[in-house]
Amino acid sequence: MLFDTHVHINDEAFKEDLEATIARARAAGVEKMIVVGFDRPTIQKAMALIDQYPFLYAAIGWHPVDAIDMKDEDLDWIESLAHHPKVVAIGEIGLDYHWDKSPKEVQQEVFRRQIRLAKKLDLPIIIHNREATEDCVQILKEENAQEAGGIMHCFSGSPETAKECIKMNFYISLGGPVTFKNAKKPKEVAAEVPLEKLLVETDCPYLAPHPYRGKRNEPAYVKLVAEQIAEIKGIPFEKVAEQTMLNAEKLFRIKDHA
């Protein structure tokens, strides 16, 4: 019983074999998933999927890379869709300084507006942070994001940063990179962060875990992430699966819609 807290099965990469992909996930024990939409087309597709499959939930938001394109109408649209009972978070939102399509100031403003929206809607947030940890933590503090809480998605920072985020009411979500042989920091985070504050995800189709690194990722592989965490912590896989499921259900306030 696994909960993949970050999938993009609404991506073009799954256009040809979405049903088979979902079937493989279910066969691998993936009981629930959060489908993340981050622009008009992927949000629309996420909304359709949560109506179609009882075990899928959605997170919707505007991606920092495309912050420059977000109009007021887009934010209003996200707000109206967020009233759907199976939209359980605002995200992914945050900062991405790796790509320079959107200037930092624009990204920061779009990030702040969406944190405020999540607080207004009483929903948790899913944070995308790439090469912007300092500004990201600063904004979370300034906007009092603690009230919303949420997830540091595909966390790649240090155990110290993880602890700082946990203090602000965030869970730390680990993905494929924790399985990479040279991934020192994610392995340290897996070892040091208490299981009660960890989540598992794939971020598929990106970041496939070992031994699929470089290939298309899919939700079934979240099992490899959970197995790696179990190995690092020296505890049974079932314990990791069970606790990360409980953590996700608590954060997203999912009782049993399925």
Cβ proximity to Zn ion, 95 vs 230, nearer residue: 95
Residues in 148-207 at the binding interface with Zn ion, rule: CB under 5 A:
203
Rounded to a whole number of angstroms, the minimum distance from the CB of residue 238 to Zn ion is 27
How many residues touch Zn ion under the rule CB under 5 A: the total is 1
Rounded to a whole number of angstroms, the minimum distance from the CB of residue 153 to Zn ion is 6
- Distant-in-sequence, close-in-space partners of 108: CB < 8 Å, separation ≥ 6: 95, 135, 139
Cβ proximity to Zn ion, 6 vs 223, nearer residue: 6
Cβ proximity to Zn ion, 143 vs 203, nearer residue: 203
Rounded to a whole number of angstroms, the minimum distance from the CB of residue 204 to Zn ion is 9
Spatial contact of 93 and 37, defined as CB atoms under 8 Å apart: no
Cβ proximity to Zn ion, 96 vs 203, nearer residue: 203
Cβ proximity to Zn ion, 82 vs 126, nearer residue: 126
Cβ proximity to Zn ion, 36 vs 123, nearer residue: 36
The DSSP code sequence of the chain is: -EEEEEE-TTSGGGTTTHHHHHHHHHHTTEEEEEEEE-SHHHHHHHHHHHHH-TTEEEEE---GGGGGG--HHHHHHHHHHTTSTTEEEEEEEEEE-SS-SS-HHHHHHHHHHHHHHHHHHT--EEEEEES-HHHHHHHHHHTTGGGT-EEETT--S-HHHHHHHHHTTEEEEE-GGGGSTT-HHHHHHHHHS-GGGEEE---BTSSPPTTSTTS---GGGHHHHHHHHHHHHTS-HHHHHHHHHHHHHHHTT-----
Rounded to a whole number of angstroms, the minimum distance from the CB of residue 55 to Zn ion is 19
Rounded to a whole number of angstroms, the minimum distance from the CB of residue 87 to Zn ion is 16
Spatial contact of 8 and 58, defined as CB atoms under 8 Å apart: no
Rounded to a whole number of angstroms, the minimum distance from the CB of residue 198 to Zn ion is 18
Residues in 95-134 at the binding interface with Zn ion, rule: CB under 5 A:
none
Cβ proximity to Zn ion, 180 vs 206, nearer residue: 206
Rounded to a whole number of angstroms, the minimum distance from the CB of residue 255 to Zn ion is 25
Residues near Zn ion, by CB under 5 A = 203
